[in-house]
Structure 1
């Protein structure tokens, strides 16, 4: 019967092998410290795994061997003992790896395994639901693109741009993966969303569980948890979210926290029928914290313009232009 380990045990085994590999990067060290301090259970599990490692991986020294042996017998005996411990240590490593199936890197199905390949996309100002061949459902935000490869042994998707919400049909024999930027997401539950932003990747879980891996780091997210991370940065710990904040873009409602104006407009331009321009690039760095419906955009701009030094207007085509008050408005 196959032994089943807890997430904490799997993580401790992963870090045990990683820290003994001799190939730890600065990001690895920082991420290991974060994991170790996250809970007492993590610390205890790592100490237990380390003790087992030391017990099996180190041979007794020569001074601990019988001194009555002849020199050549001593050498032969030492080689035998060291060889046995080397084999034992290798077996321990193999055992650790087999106990950590969740840490395997996802492999896209080969051409021979592919059952279905398609690209899902939505137009500007379009939100659409798709049903995959396996019965899973996908919702794409406006101006989004998702590549889908369904194989005979796994299911792989890649979010190229925008937002996607997934309701996955569970099948342990066909694991489901989502790639977004540098992030690889393995589905261990059912309902979650992924947003590919200029500032990084955002993952939220409404039901079930997912594993997010990036930069040789990983985190598990459960119901009502999210994670937002930037490229080449340490993967942060999951944070709790309000269930009402899940996939708000489906109803064209948006929530931004300390987000630069240029990034806010980059997203809104996929949902807004016309185009929103920043005529003065210096305004793009203004931090925005707001929650609003898309049909409240003009009201939002009026509020922001009273706080920050800019004005806005519409041209004859209905496009919005944002510029500083000192700039001369030209039509």
Structure 2
């Protein structure tokens, strides 16, 4: 079992853990993120507290005469998990539900059967965007989806819940509140649960990302072992292909979602990340020559036209886009 060390950071981490269990206050989550970033010891201490929670959650039920209380003590520090099962249920049902509104028409081609009674679909409705521009779907519950190109999402609306399965691509979800129907986005083996908010989800070629523009979301760890990550507005959770851990950072949501307005905005991004985006917008695999893999990129590119995008890349970066038998590759400029 993880060890709690006797220091101030562990005590503060335990306090943060308790305060955040049923918290929907965005400012408190931002304060927590600032505390984590202030000192590497803070992040390590919080990870120990979370590890203790996971370990405790996996133990067998305590006898009734023990009062359902488990205390883990190392030295002077004590972390108590009272009524562990009730707390677990609170953690699994923390998200707020959303409020009903009138139906609106979808503006992307719909691939599904007819709705029952014009309101609830008996099966998922699949929306695909194979065009060259972002496309918008207005759902019957008042939520709004913006699909990036080469994206596919299946939405299921039932009386006690709403789900969206992002098969591939990238979608901005603007979720409308409804009292009795939570909204969950499933992508890349993860569940993103929302609080009536606006956020972006990417699930493509092993890359996974969630960016929150408004509200608060919860992202499962994908393994069913650790606690969910909660993201307030202005934060992002990312996991690059091949990585085993998530990274949570502060971001500019407007820049991260600029693609809906026909732009890509980069701020000190590795060139491999840019190549993945170029693969989508140039509609062909884009690789990176080892000689330029050290480059990091900042700038704005227009994605309205593939030919223009290619010229911009060569004008802005010290690279040349070379066509190959299998796609394109970014090589050093001559």
* Same-fold call, TM cutoff 0.5: yes
- Decide which of 252, 262, 266 is 2:262's aligned counterpart: 252
Separation (CA, whole Å) in 2 of partners of 1:137 and 1:225: 21
Closer/same/farther in 2, CA of residues 280 and 191 from structure 1, 3 Å limit: closer
Structure 1 Cα separation of the partners of residues 301 and 198 of structure 2 = 24
Equivalent residue, structure 2, for 1:99: 90
Supply the RMSD in Å over aligned alpha carbons.
4.4
Cα offset for 1:245? 1.0
Deviation (angstroms), 1:11: 5.6
- 1:140 CA displacement: 0.0
- Please tell me whether the aligned partners of residues 275 and 287 of structure 2 are also in contact (alpha carbons under 8 angstroms): no
Q: Which residue of 1 aligns with 2:100?
A: none
Q: Which runs of 5+ in 2 are unaligned?
A: 1-14, 23-41, 71-80, 96-119
Secondary structure of 1:234's aligned partner: coil
| 1:169–1:282 distance in 2 versus 1, CA, 3 Å | same
1:322, CA displacement in angstroms?
4.5
1:34 to 9, 31, 43: 43
Q: Any stretches of 5+ residues in structure 1 without a counterpart?
A: 1-5, 14-32, 59-81, 105-112
1:273-296 per-position Cα deviation (integer Å, ceiling 9, x unaligned): xx5565887579564524322255
Helix, strand or coil: the match of 2:93?
helix
- The answer to whether structure 1 residue 183 and structure 2 residue 180 are counterparts is no
Kept after mapping to 1: 8 A contact 2:278/2:286:
no
CA distance in 2, matches of 1:280, 1:135: 42
Higher helix share: 1
**In 2: Cα distance, 1:91 partner to 1:286 partner:** 50
4+ residue segments displaced more than 4 Å? 10-13, 86-91, 275-288, 319-327
Q: By how many angstroms is 1:207 displaced?
A: 1.0
Q: Does 1:240 align with 2:221?
A: no
- For this pair of structures, how many residues does the alignment match? 251
1:226 has 2:207 as partner: no
- 2:147 aligns with 140
Q: 2:289 touches 2:329 (CA, 8 Å); kept in 1? A: no
TM-score (norm 2): 0.60
Higher-Rg structure is 1
- Listed one character per residue, the Cα deviations across residues 175-203 of structure 1 (whole Å, up to 9, x for unaligned) are 00011102210011321111224352111
